[in-house]
């Protein structure tokens, strides 16, 4: 995929803790708000967005077609198509890669891609209830763990595998704790310096109107547009349909927004970042498994949040006078034995380097998702990188890891970090449950 797809804007919500500041908002409301803010930052007509791709992992109970819900909540037109991707932690990154392919192929001029997750709102499941229980106990299953954090092939939580793989590869507890501490320190410094302002769009969470976001003006639905590729005009009989009012979706029924004098809590920072993190405190934490090295301190939390990127063709950007932030150059994906999440980000990144005739030394910004500190450390070692150049502004251990959204966050972060340094190449790489890895190459001129 030598795409040349342009990044026109990005936006993400702050990331929240489990049961924390964003827990009253469902995944599609978070996703819709990230989309709304990204489009506003791009300064384009919402009617120009032709397609939306959003990653989400924990879809049980969310409702039909989550990406379509997020598109409607963002005020996009009814003619905007949408699809939802689930590749576990890689979902948001893969959404960006797919969007770039659509644009390169000429299927769309403008696509919004990203990811969303509300782990706080993941439901509990009751398997077997549909057919009834004839004898014995029923079991309530946590959808967050079962669908997001549990290895299907080895029937155990992925953190347990991560600890065994870390031991096999010689990644010690002390090294993991040090990297995790640095993740929090870098994230704290980035927040204090205002370095994340270009990434984060603050959210005003209504305190009394549950599930609502307070805005200055509630977005109305964008005007519908017949697809340019359809080859028909407004008078074409295929498109000649005016539905009765009661058959048109009413934004008031599903909008997550309220305006006016409504009490709210402003969420403008990533809630999981520990400004008081210390090596001493991390060293006291018990491992998740007896004898293991992974703890609540050197692994990311369970989080809520969303991220979105507005992508477009160069011709489109020029036609509306938008200066692109950067370019999505290419994507690579790999797969390996399911337990080895620590290996696949480096494999995907190396495949990407080989495809594009680049070397690791040609890459100026590295974002490797901290599924665990051991993952980023292993990837750095395999690629011959100094760990201090990986996740320079902090990573998922500090920011949190809303699993459907993290891939989009790290791609956007690469874009903004490259712009701050004046350009260059960057790679965002991520592992995902089942032993798969993905990486995206970004260029800023």
Q: Is 431 a catalytic residue?
A: yes
Query: For each of the chain's 445 residues, which pLDDT tens digit applies?
Result: 455 799 999 999 999 999 999 999 999 999 999 999 999 999 999 999 999 999 999 999 999 999 999 999 999 999 999 999 999 999 999 999 999 999 999 999 999 999 999 999 999 999 999 999 989 999 999 999 999 999 999 999 999 999 999 999 999 999 999 999 999 999 999 999 999 999 999 999 999 999 999 999 999 899 998 876 666 555 567 888 889 999 999 888 899 999 999 999 999 999 999 999 999 999 999 999 999 999 999 999 999 999 999 999 999 999 999 999 999 999 999 999 999 999 999 999 999 999 999 999 999 999 999 999 999 999 999 999 999 999 999 999 999 999 999 999 999 999 999 999 999 999 999 999 999 999 999 999 9
Domain boundaries, given as residue ranges, for the chain: 5-122+153-210+264-444
Q: Is 241 a catalytic residue?
A: no
Classify domain 5-122+153-210+264-444 by CATH number.
Answer: 3.40.47.10
Q: Is 89 a catalytic residue?
A: yes
Work out the number of other CB atoms within 10 angstroms of the CB of residue 419: 16
Pairing of strands 303-312, 16-17: antiparallel
Spot the catalytic one: 184, 331, 431, 443: 431
Spot the catalytic one: 191, 331, 401, 416: 401
Retrieve residue 78's tokens.
Answer: 């009814």
State how far the Cα of 197 lies from the Cα of 118, in Å rounded to an integer: 22
Retrieve residue 221's tokens.
Answer: 């639905």
Identify whether the C-beta of residue 376 lies closer than 8 Å to the C-beta of residue 427: no
State how far the Cα of 375 lies from the Cα of 33, in Å rounded to an integer: 30
Whole-prediction pTM: 0.97
Identify whether the C-beta of residue 305 lies closer than 8 Å to the C-beta of residue 413: no
Spot the catalytic one: 89, 108, 184, 191: 89
Phi, psi of 151 (to 5 degrees): -80, 115
């Amino acid at each position: 995929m030598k795409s040349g797809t342009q990044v026109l804007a990005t936006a993400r919500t702050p990331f929240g803790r489990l049961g924390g500041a964003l827990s009253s908002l469902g995944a599609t409301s978070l996703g819709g708000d990230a989309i709304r803010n990204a489009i506003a930052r791009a300064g384009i007509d919402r009617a120009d967005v032709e397609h939306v791709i959003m990653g989400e992992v924990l879809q049980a109970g969310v409702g039909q077609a989550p990406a379509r819900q997020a598109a409607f909540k963002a005020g996009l037109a009814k003619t905007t198509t949408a699809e939802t991707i689930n590749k576990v932690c890689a979902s948001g990154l893969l959404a960006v890669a797919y969007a770039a392919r659509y644009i390169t192929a000429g299927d769309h001029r403008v696509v919004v891609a990203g990811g969303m997750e509300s782990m706080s709102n993941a439901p509990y499941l009751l398997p077997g209830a549909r057919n009834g229980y004839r004898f014995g106990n029923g079991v309530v299953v946590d959808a967050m763990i079962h669908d997001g954090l549990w290895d299907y092939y080895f029937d155990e939580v992925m953190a347990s595998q991560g600890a065994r793989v870390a031991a096999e590869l010689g990644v010690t507890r002390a090294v993991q704790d040090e990297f995790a501490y640095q993740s929090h320190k870098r994230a704290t410094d980035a927040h204090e310096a205002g370095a994340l302002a270009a990434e984060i769009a603050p959210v005003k969470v209504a305190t009394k109107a549950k599930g609502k976001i307070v805005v200055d003006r509630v977005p109305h639905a964008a005007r519908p547009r017949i697809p340019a590729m359809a080859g028909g005009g407004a008078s074409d009989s295929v498109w000649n349909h005016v539905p009765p009012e009661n058959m048109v979706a009413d934004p008031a029924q599903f909008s997550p927004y309220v305006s006016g004098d409504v009490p709210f809590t402003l969420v403008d920072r990533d809630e999981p970042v520990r400004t008081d993190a210390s090596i001493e405190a991390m060293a006291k934490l018990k491992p998740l498994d007896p004898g293991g090295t992974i703890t609540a301190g050197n692994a990311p939390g369970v989080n809520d949040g969303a991220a979105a990127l507005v992508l477009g063709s160069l011709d489109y950007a020029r036609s509306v006078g938008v200066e692109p932030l950067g370019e999505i150059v290419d994507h690579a994906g790999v797969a390996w034995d399911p337990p080895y999440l620590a290996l696949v980000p480096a494999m995907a990144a190396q495949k990407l380097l080989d495809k594009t005739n680049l070397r690791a030394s040609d890459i100026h910004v590295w974002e490797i998702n901290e599924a665990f500190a051991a993952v980023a450390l292993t990837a750095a070692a395999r690629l011959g990188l100094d760990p201090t150049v990986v996740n320079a502004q902090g990573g998922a251990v500090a920011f949190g890891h809303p699993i459907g959204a993290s891939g989009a966050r790290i791609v956007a972060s690469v874009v903004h970090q490259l712009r701050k340094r004046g350009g260059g190449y960057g790679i965002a790489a991520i592992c995902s449950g089942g032993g798969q890895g993905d990486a995206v190459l970004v260029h800023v001129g």
